[in-house]
Amino acid sequence: MLITDTLLLDYKRCSRRAFLNIHGDLTKQEPKRDFLNKLRQESQRHIASVLDTYYPYYEKVSILQTSSKERAKATEVLMQQGVDCIYQGQLWVDAHTLTSWDCSENPEMTLPSGYDYLGKPHLLIKQPGLSKFGNWSYYPVSIHLGRKAKPEYRLMATFYAQLLGIIQETPPPNPELIVRPLKQSWVDIGEWLPKLEFILDECVAVLETRGEPEVFISRQRCSLCPWYGHCYAIAKSQQHLSLVPGVTPNRYKSLQELGVMTTESLATANSDSLEELIGTELGNKLQLQARSIVHNQPIPRPQHEYNSGEILVNQTIELYFDIEAEPERNLDYLLGVVVVNRVNQTQTFYPLLAETPQEEGVIWQQFLELVHTYDQAPIFHFSDYEKDTIKRLGNLYQTPRFEIEHLLSRFVDLHRCVITSVIFPVESYSLKSLANWLGFHWRDAGISGDQCVCWYDQWLSTGDRSFLSSILRYNEDDCLATLHLKNWLVEFFSKIEFSS
């Protein structure tokens, strides 16, 4: 079996993912999303800027070598020649090399035997020090798009250092990491080698068994995984507890100890045992959530805040606000507002769009004019992002502070209203999930905010206005979904007040 850096990275993120990559039915993977291509392009731009800044002179391993083994051989030839900086080299250690490798002299340099290993560090940099090549050796440099030197980056860097140590017959060198914007750091090899060893042992043990690791759906971890559709279908059929909001992997383990394995069993579990195990508040919260899902009924939260609050009361004019952004450029390019007039029963969409990144300041002024036109109207939005953006744009374009404060006092975050007041029978408290449950449907099904980021990029590079039309449609639907949610909340709470 070939253990690669990407397999190890997948294992670190999810053991099931690594297992499926090796033993799964590849036809069940989802097609690559546009967003992943965009990330790949961003990564290439980042690597290019690192090369320009720190390593302008390098030797690239020839792409004429098609197989990884050939590329690894070509990399070794460049190392033998003493090239200062090698770009896109590959490190290959085969099972045979490991068998003949004398671990007694290098006890720290062990890898599980019987496997081939492949690593693709971005750069290999020459440094003084004896190796099998002469009085020089190499250390690896890994370049990542993230802004922090995450544990998985350190693990990969240590893997490269380990392979490199075996190839050049030196102790593993300290690897370098470069994250965004251009932040360099070193990985402490003494600290990370034992961790690498432990994870590699675990990883090969999982891959050698034929037992598929259990599914556990986690939005953050699973959203970009090609196995998502496959895993989600399994989780759904099992009524898996990871589909209950609030059930984390640790809480899941605790629930298993109690014999609670499905949403239904959580809904009907003994409340006292549940509270004893995970605490009164949490036990109660998870059980209500499970009951809401099982009965497909929303439930008012105990001590909900908004039932009699004036905050949701219908006004003659209300604004519904949603933003589309391009995080890579730190740009908010679409400030979408739907103005609702409840007397005339009209809804008007104002898409304030920066067709070029330079127009962000212009749409900000247009936005201020629009919200001043309706200066008594509440501004409904979903999540913190809209408020944070108002602060950012206010600072950036030097809008007077009192004006921003007054504007923000009109904002009503419906996400906060929901999570403090109602338990919904949903798997996630995203706008999409809530509004879908309420029967609202986006005109373009299956599209996410990620896709808009890609469309805006495509608009900038092609000038094709159909990308802009798609973004506007999506943004308008986001505003209308927020309106739909608000209307539902008003009705829901009025029924509760009426019945109490």
Q: Which residues bind ligand SF4 (CB under 6 A)?
A: 14, 16-17, 20, 215-217, 221-222, 225, 227-228, 231
* Distance in angstroms (rounded) separating the CA atoms of residues 87 and 126: 12
Instruction: Report the chain's terminal Cα–Cα distance, integer Å.
Output: 65
Q: At closest approach, how far in Å is the CB of 25 from ligand SF4?
A: 13
State the DSSP code for 498.
H
- What type of residue is 307? N
Q: At closest approach, how far in Å is the CB of 19 from ligand SF4?
A: 8
Location of structure tokens 């020090």: 129
* Distance in angstroms (rounded) separating the CA atoms of residues 297 and 289: 10
* Distance in angstroms (rounded) separating the CA atoms of residues 6 and 16: 14
* Distance in angstroms (rounded) separating the CA atoms of residues 199 and 186: 20
- With a CB cutoff of 8 Å and minimum separation 6, the contacts of 61 are 71, 74, 75, 78, 86, 87, 88, 89, 90
Identity of the residue, 14 or 363, whose beta carbon is nearer to ligand SF4 in the bound complex = 14
Q: At closest approach, how far in Å is the CB of 12 from ligand SF4?
A: 11
Identity of the residue, 11 or 350, whose beta carbon is nearer to ligand SF4 in the bound complex = 11
Identity of the residue, 17 or 484, whose beta carbon is nearer to ligand SF4 in the bound complex = 17
Q: At closest approach, how far in Å is the CB of 233 from ligand SF4?
A: 11
Identity of the residue, 16 or 71, whose beta carbon is nearer to ligand SF4 in the bound complex = 16
The structure tokens listed for 21 are 């990559």
Q: At closest approach, how far in Å is the CB of 273 from ligand SF4?
A: 28
Q: At closest approach, how far in Å is the CB of 2 from ligand SF4?
A: 19
Nearest by Cα to 434 from 265, 239, 245, 288? 245
* Distance in angstroms (rounded) separating the CA atoms of residues 79 and 84: 8
Q: At closest approach, how far in Å is the CB of 253 from ligand SF4?
A: 16
Q: At closest approach, how far in Å is the CB of 231 from ligand SF4?
A: 3
Q: At closest approach, how far in Å is the CB of 224 from ligand SF4?
A: 9
Please list the residues that pair with 321 across neighbouring strands: 337
Identity of the residue, 170 or 239, whose beta carbon is nearer to ligand SF4 in the bound complex = 239
Identity of the residue, 20 or 418, whose beta carbon is nearer to ligand SF4 in the bound complex = 20
* Distance in angstroms (rounded) separating the CA atoms of residues 82 and 102: 25
Q: At closest approach, how far in Å is the CB of 77 from ligand SF4?
A: 38
* Distance in angstroms (rounded) separating the CA atoms of residues 277 and 255: 8
Nearest by Cα to 272 from 259, 262, 283? 283
Identity of the residue, 226 or 394, whose beta carbon is nearer to ligand SF4 in the bound complex = 226
Identity of the residue, 12 or 484, whose beta carbon is nearer to ligand SF4 in the bound complex = 12
Sheet holding 116-119, edge to edge: 2-4, 116-119, 91-93
Identity of the residue, 244 or 340, whose beta carbon is nearer to ligand SF4 in the bound complex = 244
- Cα torsion for 14, 19, 24, 30, to the nearest 10°? 20
Q: At closest approach, how far in Å is the CB of 221 from ligand SF4?
A: 5
For residue 405, what is the enclosing H or E element?
helix 401-409
Identity of the residue, 13 or 69, whose beta carbon is nearer to ligand SF4 in the bound complex = 13
- With a CB cutoff of 8 Å and minimum separation 6, the contacts of 210 are 23
Nearest by Cα to 120 from 85, 80, 53, 68? 68
* Inter-residue contact 231 to 222 (CB < 8 Å): yes
Identify the three-state secondary structure at position 271. helix
Identity of the residue, 55 or 232, whose beta carbon is nearer to ligand SF4 in the bound complex = 232
